[in-house]
Amino acid sequence: MADTARLDATFHALSDPTRRAILARLAREGDVTVMDLAEPFAMSQPAISKHLKVLEKAGLVSRGRDAQKRPVHLEAQPLAEVTGWLIEYRKYWQAQFERLDDLLEELQQLEKLAGKN
Amino acid sequence: MADTARLDATFHALSDPTRRAILARLAREGDVTVMDLAEPFAMSQPAISKHLKVLEKAGLVSRGRDAQKRPVHLEAQPLAEVTGWLIEYRKYWQAQFERLDDLLEELQQLEKLAGKN
DNA sequence: AGTATATATAACTGAATAGTTTTGTACTGG
DNA sequence: CCAGTACAAAACTATTCAGTTATATATACT
């Protein structure tokens, strides 16, 4: 996929709150089945399957196989790419980025506390 | 605007290559008029105006006034917010994030070289 | 074999998107 | 005041989106 098309797909996938919630859950809990993912939402199972397809097309998740289950697995690389895209421009936007500075600093702190791992 | 709606709008705005190109240009060149923005694209002026409206709704740009021109100005804060959203999850995704690590390291370097400003 | 479970696919609907062309509006400068 | 410039708004079209319900497929269980 062309670089720009990958960014299109990733940003589009992230533009929906249901899909962001799915990613967040996968980040917290690891692989989750479709039924389990659907449960907290006021939405049918096929709707969730469709969201998963969008996420999969963006490369944000992959699917496993466990009997009749198809566990959903988070793939972080596209997120790294879009984060990269955003940070790339930071040199130009620098002045307006105090809030990001705070976040980055917090991140550095966390890493220091966690030890170089 | 609700936090989630702001993220929706920002990610959606970023999901189109024309809009990303507009932002990139504003980052490089500062404020630009609509005509100047439209020039490199094989697209009508109203199409660009629509894209600008999307960007404006997401708070990513604001508009000035200079005679009959309405110069477009980059507003970086929503970008900081989405970057924050992405980085937030980094603790969980860490292992898969070598590429982001590189970018962050490069960023640190740039800041060191530029001096604490 | 027959039923239950987990998920996918199909067919449909309504709303939103991205583009077009045409027209309107606001300001400028002779 | 009038022509030109810069832009916005309206009206239209085709495509995509997000959801639905109903049905099909795949695997497991008895």
- For residues A98 and B41, which has the higher predicted lDDT (pLDDT)? B41
Q: Number of A to B CB contacts under 8 A, please give it.
A: 111
Q: What percent of chain B has pLDDT over 90?
A: 62
Per DSSP, the residues of B36-80 read HHHTTSSS-HHHHHHHHHHHHHTTSEEE--BTTB--EEE--HHHH
- For residues A102 and A59, which has the higher predicted lDDT (pLDDT)? A59
Distance from the B45 Cα atom to the nearest Cα atom in chain A, whole angstroms: 22
Which tens digits make up the pLDDT trace of A55-84?
A: 999 999 999 999 999 999 999 889 888 988
DSSP, collapsed to helix, strand or coil, labels residue B16 as: coil
Which tens digits make up the pLDDT trace of B16-67?
A: 999 999 999 999 999 999 999 999 999 999 999 999 999 999 999 999 999 9
Enumerate the domain spans of chain A.
Answer: 3-75, 79-114
CB spacing of B103 vs A84 below 8 angstroms: yes
**CA B22 – CA B10 distance, rounded (Å):** 14
Radius of gyration of chain A (CA): 17
Topology at the third CATH level for domain B3-78: Arc Repressor Mutant, subunit A (1.10.10)
Q: Which of residues 26-45 of B touch A (CB under 8 A)?
A: 27-28
- Indicate if CB(B59) is under 7 A from strand D: no
- β-pairing, B61-63 with A72-74? unpaired
Please check the confidence at residue A96 and state whether its pLDDT lies above 70.
no
Q: What is the mean pLDDT of residues A25-30?
A: 93
What is the reported pLDDT for A109?
60
- Touching check for B97 and chain A: CB below 8 Å? yes
Distance from the B107 Cα atom to the nearest Cα atom in chain A, whole angstroms: 8
Number of residues written out for chain B: 117
CB spacing of A97 vs B76 below 8 angstroms: yes
- Indicate if CB(A34) is under 7 A from strand C: yes
Topology at the third CATH level for domain A3-75: Arc Repressor Mutant, subunit A (1.10.10)
